Each structure stands twice: as structure tokens, then as C-alpha cells.
Amino acid sequence: MAQQKAPRSRDEVIQQDVRDLHRLGYAQELFRTMGGFSNFAISFTIISILTGAVILFDYGLAWGGPAASTLGWPLVSIFTLLIAASMAEIASAYPTAGGLYYWSSRMKNKDWGWWTAWFNLAGQVAIVAGIDFAAASFVNSAIVTPILSNFGIVYANGSMFLGTLVSGQLVTMAVLLAIQLLLNVGGIRLVARLNDASVWWHIGTVVVIVGALFLISSGKAHSTLSPFAIAPQDASGGASIFGGALNLGPALGYALPFAFMFSLLQAQWTFTGYDASAHVAEETIGARLASAWGVFISVAVSAVVGYIVLLGLVTHLPPLDQVFNPSCLAAPTGLCSQYYGGNAVVFTTLTYNLGSLGDWLGAAIAVAMSLCGLASVAAAGRMLFAFSRDHGVPGSPWLRKVSHRYRTPANAIIGIVVFSYLLTNAAFIFGGATAIAIVTAISTIALYWAYGIPIFLGVFGKQEWRDHAVWKLGRFSKPIALVAVAWIVMISVLFLWPTSGNAFTWLVYIVFLGFLLIYYFAWARRRFRGPIVEVGEVELTEIEREFEHAAEELSGA
């Protein structure tokens, strides 16, 4: 009878992780302390069903009606799970920060890796921008404005400063980003603990919201809309479909399926950021398996928990005159989406059904959004650090530096925060009230292109990665990958299509691609070398000793 192997100690697992990292060509500069749950928690927190599903609930209602949540969410969940499964398989072969970029480089070449990295970086910056811009709105509505009003101070999302350039929402966003910056620079241990707590905060808040809606709101008058109705609620919104106008309203005819497909942005943007489990692989114990499971399980759990809260909301929508802006009711059709000119439908639904408890739950959602932003900054900072480590962006020597005191990529984190805030301001200036749709569409497309490239190369590129993978899909690997890539192509077309919600997205993306083409042919094609191993085991170990020595000096100071 074969003798069972004794389980490895924590130190032995870390030593194996370091050997795996050396095999990929990098030294253990970051602090490896995250467990498997913390790895899952960072992706679950960034997906944050209390952020994406809430922020774009109005958008989904505008384009698809209640069905955007009840039918669109499970549809997107299925295809996203296929994408996550393909990514998890590759992540188990290459457990390194900035994983997607490294995967593409190894499975094809440095050029494919460079494009993957830039799409991933653009998506990371945009997702931080979208999350914190929306979080600022909820923080203002649920916390800041009510508190300041007690002192006679008028401050809200619409409060304007410096003429019309800066809103109260942007000011609050700046404060949130500053706090997230300090916490992330302070160390991965602190961020990991907050992410762990965030999982239970999200689940607990969902339980309270759904339980309260079904138990407390009885007797309230609710919308007559069926929870599964594909019934767009924006009379003024529209898009160009096959050369003709699609105008939302009571009679959509053939255009109804297209309107529903546009509403999928609500769910698809929510399901972004789960590549974070791969980005923090160099700080995760047992990284090869933990990162893979973190990518997949974070999507699976979010799909279930998210559907529960959305079902609770759509079955308790207030009467339409409580949901929509009064000025819209004077329109010829009598309907227009709150998304285009008023408070969030989710917040209105909670306060209508639950009174003061709804205000408290709005505050709980604001906290969840802020934690989502914190985790997003952490993941984006690691991605930028990894790409800078291989000299892929301007200012790489500065961006790649790791803090000896905190063992965090402090400079890269600063860069992410600054660029995210600048992007939000630009979207606000050009898009005004629709800034959130522009930012979310950009982040969704950019991130899914970054996901799609390595998945595509996993089928058609070099196949030696399969020998290193420990989380495997077996014979289903290639069929799942091909379906995942096809879905990414389809949503790219949908979310780049000019509509009244994101009319500038395609233009912004063309400008972005134009910049990348110029940068690639003028510099990167000849000078960018990719993730090339330049030193051996001895040199990598020496780098690690320098960090340990610096830590000893700082602790003795």
C-alpha cells in the first residue's frame, strides 16, 4: 500500500512558489502572505455585485427593462464562467504578477504580450475610474450629503467647483482615491484583510437587502412591470441599427432584441477584474492552484449572489412615477430612464420600500463600492508594476520600484490612481451625465480583449504551457476557449456601437488604438524585449536578500 505524503508546511509551499517564480525569470520582491481565500476575495471584491450591478442597474433598465437583470445576468454569467475557466487554466501554468501579459508573451511572442498588456492596463485604469466615480456618487447620496445638510452645508454630486469642470462627485472621488492609495502602499496584509472582510460585507448586505425587501416592504405598491419583461424604459435613447434608427419607446418591433443586447453591459461590466487573482500571484501562497481557483470561483459565487440581489430589486421596483425624473413624465411617451437625469433607481427602490433602513443599506452599498475600488487599485498597481519590470511603459525605471519598507509597488499604485482620476475628469468633461457609461464600456472592452488574446493563443499558440498547468479542463479546454473568444468578439461589437448612453466610446477607443499603433511601430516593435530572463538563480536570490536586509534595517530603525 502506497504511503501518503505528509502535507507540506507553509514555508515549504512558499519555497516552491519562489522556485516557480524563479523559473519564470523573476525574483521574489513582493511580500508573499496571501492565502487562497484572500486571493479569491480580491477578485470577488473587484467584481463586486454591489458595484457593477448597482451602478448600471439604471442602464440595464433603460435598454432592456427588468429582463436585463433577470435574463441578461444569467446569460452573461454562463459565458463569463467559460472565459474564467480558460483563464484559470493558463494562470495555473504561469503564476506571476501581470499574468495576462506574461501568458501571451510565452505562448506567442513579445509583441502579442505588449498588446495584451496595454489592453489590460487601459482596462485596469478605466475600471478603477468607473468604480470610484460611481462609489463617490453613492457615498455622497447616502453618507456625505445627509451629514453635511445637518450643518446647513449644501454639497452633492451636482455641486460644481471651478466653474463647470469639477463636481462634488469628482471631489469625493479624489478623497476616496487618496485613501485607497495610502492603504495600498501600506501593505498587502492590510489590503488582504480588508478584502477578506469585504466578502462577508457584500454577502451580508445582499442578505439584508433581499430579506428586508421581501419581509418589510409588504403592502407597498410596486411597478406593474413583469420581472422578466424585455421592456426598455427610456423614450429618448437610441442607436443606429443596420442604417436605421433604433428609438426606445412603447413600440420597438424588430429592434427589441438589439435593445436587450445593449443592456448586457450591466452584467458584463460587473464581471470584470477577476484577473486580479492572477495579478497577485506573486503574493499568494500556493499560487498555482490558489490563483486559478480565485479566478474561477470569484465569478461563480458572484453570479449566484448577484442574481439574488437583482431578483429582489426588480420584484420590488416602485411605481414608475416614483422611479423616473418628474420632468421625464411630461415627455410624449411618459417614460424616460432615470439613468439620463436623476437619482439611482436602486437607491430610490431601497428608500421607497424600506424608509430609513433603505438609507442605511445605501450607505452599506457605498462602503462595498469603496472596498471594490481599494481592491481594484491593488490589482491594477500590480499589473502596471509587472509591465514596468519588463520596461513596457514610459517611466518604467520609476514605476517598477518596490518600497523596501512595505514591499509594495508604491510608484505603480500612484500612477494608477493619477491616471484613473485624469480619465474620469476627461470622460466627465466630454460625456457629462453619461461619463459612467463611457468609462464602463471602455474598461469592459479593453479588459476582455486582454482576456481574449491569451485564451486565443492558448489554442493556436505554443502549447508547452499545458505541461505546467495544474488546474486543467482536459478535453473541454479548446472548445471552451473557442466559445469564450467568440463571446468576447460579440460583446466588443455591442459595446462599441454608438448609442445615446455611450456615443463617444467608439471614438475614444479609436483614438486609443491609434496611439498604440503609433507607439508600437515607432518604439515598441524594435526596442521592447518582453519578459526575457536576464539573470540566473544566484542573481535572483541576491535581489531577494537585499530586500530582506533592507527590511531588517528598517525594523531596527
For residue 509, pLDDT over 50 is answered with yes
CB 258 within 8 A of CB 493: no
- 522 secondary structure, DSSP code: I
Of the listed ranges 128-137, 193-202, 482-491, the one predicted with least confidence: 128-137
Sequence-distant (6+) residues with CB within 8 A of 206 are 49, 50, 305, 308, 309
Rg (Cα) of the chain, in Å, rounded? Answer: 23
Written as one letter, the residue type at 496 is L
CB 366 within 8 A of CB 138: yes
For residue 338, pLDDT over 60 is answered with no
Of the listed ranges 9-18, 109-118, 427-436, 506-515, the one predicted with least confidence: 427-436
What is each CA distance from 183 to 158, 347, 414, in whole angstroms? 28, 28, 12
CB 65 within 8 A of CB 226: no
In this prediction, residues 208-214 reach a mean pLDDT of: 93
For residue 501, pLDDT over 80 is answered with no
Q: Name the 3-class secondary structure at 167.
A: strand
Q: Name the 3-class secondary structure at 105.
A: helix
- The reported pLDDT for the residue numbered 164 is 59
Percentage of the chain surpassing pLDDT 90?
46
- Residue 284: beta bridge partners? 34
In this prediction, residues 64-77 reach a mean pLDDT of: 94
Residue ranges in 187-319 assigned as alpha helix (H): 188-215, 256-262, 265-270, 276-279, 287-314
Task: Name the nearest CA neighbour of 193 among 376, 80, 343, 37.
Answer: 37
What residue has cell string 466630454? 430
Dist CA 442 CA 57 (whole Å):
18
Dist CA 260 CA 300 (whole Å):
23
Sequence-distant (6+) residues with CB within 8 A of 325 are 336, 338, 341, 342
DSSP one-letter string for 253-273: GGGHHHHHHHTTHHHHHHS--
CA angle 339, 345, 349 (to 5 degrees): 170
For residue 206, pLDDT over 90 is answered with yes
Q: What is the pLDDT of residues 376-434, one digit of tens each?
A: 999 999 899 989 988 999 999 999 998 878 888 999 999 999 999 998 888 777 666 56
* Residue 86: all three cell numbers together: 480558460
What is each CA distance from 517 to 233, 256, 390, 512, 520, in whole angstroms? 40, 37, 20, 9, 5
For residue 115, pLDDT over 90 is answered with yes
- The reported pLDDT for the residue numbered 473 is 96
In this prediction, residues 100-123 reach a mean pLDDT of: 93
HEC readout, 485-514: HHHHHHHHHHHHCCECCCCCHHHHHHHHHH
When pLDDT is cut at 50, 70 and 90, the band that residue 262 belongs to is confident
- 47 secondary structure, DSSP code: H
Dist CA 216 CA 354 (whole Å):
7
Q: What CATH architecture applies to the domain 34-556?
A: Up-down Bundle (1.20)
CB atoms within 10 A of CB 403: 15
* Residue 275: all three cell numbers together: 484577473
Burial of 463 (0-12, 13-18, 19+ CB in 10 A): exposed
Q: Where are the domains of the chain?
A: 34-556
**What phi and psi, each to the nearest 5 degrees, are found at residue 20?**
-60, -40
- The reported pLDDT for the residue numbered 343 is 45
Q: What is the pLDDT of residues 175-201, one digit of tens each?
A: 999 999 999 998 778 888 999 999 999
Query: How many CA atoms lie within 13 Å of 80's alpha carbon, on the beta-carbon side?
Result: 32
What is each CA distance from 376 to 121, 177, 191, 275, in whole angstroms? 12, 11, 11, 10
